[in-house]
């Protein structure tokens, strides 16, 4: 999927799926803006031509400023990838730290809202754009010890549906990507917790981070139109085949 001249903002771009997506989109010709909390790390790992912007998605003023700066610098924002996410706290609901639990909601749910809230007016004014949120199987199935993560991902999935309902008529393409388990640092934290069946998987069981990154690029093309308002599941062999992963 060629992205020549397209402006693409990616949250959580300092590691994992976000970092891989930055490289995949840059290779496709996009003007990539990497958003994350560790700007030095992003700069060290950024593909050629990409720019970085320190941004904590849990903080609305930072997201608002980042998107406004992108629009001012480039005159538009074609794609927003809502990727930033955290798995902690992992543990029983009955003993969860309320502050840590709330912080996870701030990133995984409110962070998605902040991205949408900042990007939608820009995209609406320019006549269109694409917003893709990285979802999870945890949005639709509960897992032991992941109450904050599951609740936030479920909420983010509904935000995707809500944004599609409200903005499709304005030319916006809004959808989600459920990648399955991916070989990132998050899976190492899950493994170390020893809680629920996911922690029992070997690291080799997880798909490489470039797979969801390549799927995100594919979703920006016309093939993604079949999934507007919905989620693309990378567990599906048909999807993997369509993306060119197998």
Q: Which fold has domain 7-180+208-241?
A: Rossmann fold (3.40.50)
Structure tokens at 234: 């990378």
Asked about 191 being catalytic, the answer comes back as: no
pLDDT score recorded for residue 170: 97
State the average pLDDT over residues 184-212: 95
pLDDT of 1 strictly over 80: no
pLDDT of 9 strictly over 80: yes
pLDDT of 85 strictly over 90: yes
- pTM of the complete model: 0.96
- Phi-psi group of 236: left, alpha or beta (phi > 0 → left; psi -120 to 50 → alpha; rest → beta): beta
State the average pLDDT over residues 87-113: 97
Is residue 69 within 8 A of residue 44, CB to CB? The reply is: no
Please state, for a pLDDT cut of 90, what percent of the chain lies above it. Answer: 99
pLDDT of 20 strictly over 80: yes
Q: Which of 6, 110, 135, 227 is catalytic?
A: 135
Q: Where are the beta strands (DSSP E) in 179-219?
A: none
pLDDT score recorded for residue 112: 98
State the average pLDDT over residues 197-202: 95
Asked about 153 being catalytic, the answer comes back as: yes
DSSP class per residue in 12-56: STTSHHHHHHHHHHHHTT-EEEEEES-HHHHHHHPPTT-EEEE--
Is residue 107 within 8 A of residue 100, CB to CB? The reply is: no
pLDDT score recorded for residue 237: 96
State the average pLDDT over residues 142-163: 98
Inter-CA distances, 223 with 218, 219, 228, 239, Å: 7, 6, 10, 10
pLDDT of 238 strictly over 90: yes
Q: Which of 6, 31, 76, 153 is catalytic?
A: 153
State the average pLDDT over residues 15-34: 97
Closest CA to 125 of 174, 171, 65, 189: 171
Domain coordinates in residue numbering, the chain: 7-180+208-241
Mean pLDDT of the chain: 97
Sorting pLDDT into bands at 50, 70 and 90, what band is 123? Answer: very high
Q: Output the CA torsion sign for 82, 84, 88, 90.
A: positive
3-state SS assignment for residue 72: helix
pLDDT of 2 strictly over 90: no
Please state, for a pLDDT cut of 70, what percent of the chain lies above it. Answer: 100
Is residue 114 within 8 A of residue 60, CB to CB? The reply is: yes
Structure tokens at 159: 């935000």
Give the lowest-confidence range in 1-5, 44-48, 62-66, 220-224: 1-5
Asked about 199 being catalytic, the answer comes back as: no
pLDDT score recorded for residue 67: 98
Q: Which of 136, 149, 178, 193 is catalytic?
A: 149
Closest CA to 177 of 62, 85, 89: 85
Render pLDDT for 163-186 as a digit per residue (tens, 0 to 9): 999 999 999 999 999 999 999 999
Closest CA to 130 of 180, 82, 78, 168: 78
């Amino acid at each position: 999927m060629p992205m020549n001249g397209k402006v693409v903002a990616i949250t959580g771009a300092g590691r994992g799926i976000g970092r891989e997506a930055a490289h995949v989109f840059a290779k496709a010709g996009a003007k990539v803006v990497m958003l994350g909390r560790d700007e030095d790390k992003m700069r060290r790992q950024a593909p050629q031509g990409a720019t970085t912007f320190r941004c904590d998605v849990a903080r609305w003023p930072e997201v608002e400023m980042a998107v406004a700066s992108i629009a001012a610098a480039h005159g538009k924002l074609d794609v927003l990838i809502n990727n930033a996410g955290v798995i902690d706290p992992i543990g029983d609901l009955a003993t969860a730290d309320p502050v840590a639990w709330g912080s996870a909601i701030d990133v995984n749910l409110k962070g998605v809202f902040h991205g949408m809230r900042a990007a939608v007016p820009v995209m609406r004014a320019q006549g269109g754009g694409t917003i893709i949120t990285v979802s999870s199987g945890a949005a639709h199935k509960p897992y032991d010890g992941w109450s904050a993560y599951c609740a936030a991902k479920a909420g983010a999935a509904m935000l995707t549906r809500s944004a599609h309902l409200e903005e499709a008529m304005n030319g916006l393409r809004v959808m989600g990507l459920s990648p399955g388990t991916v070989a990132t640092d998050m899976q190492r934290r899950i493994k170390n917790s020893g809680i629920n069946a996911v922690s029992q998987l070997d690291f080799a069981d997880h798909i490489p981070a470039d797979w969801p990154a390549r799927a995100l690029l594919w979703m920006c093309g016309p093939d993604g139109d079949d999934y507007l308002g919905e989620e693309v599941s990378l567990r599906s062999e048909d999807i993997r085949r369509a993306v060119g992963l197998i």
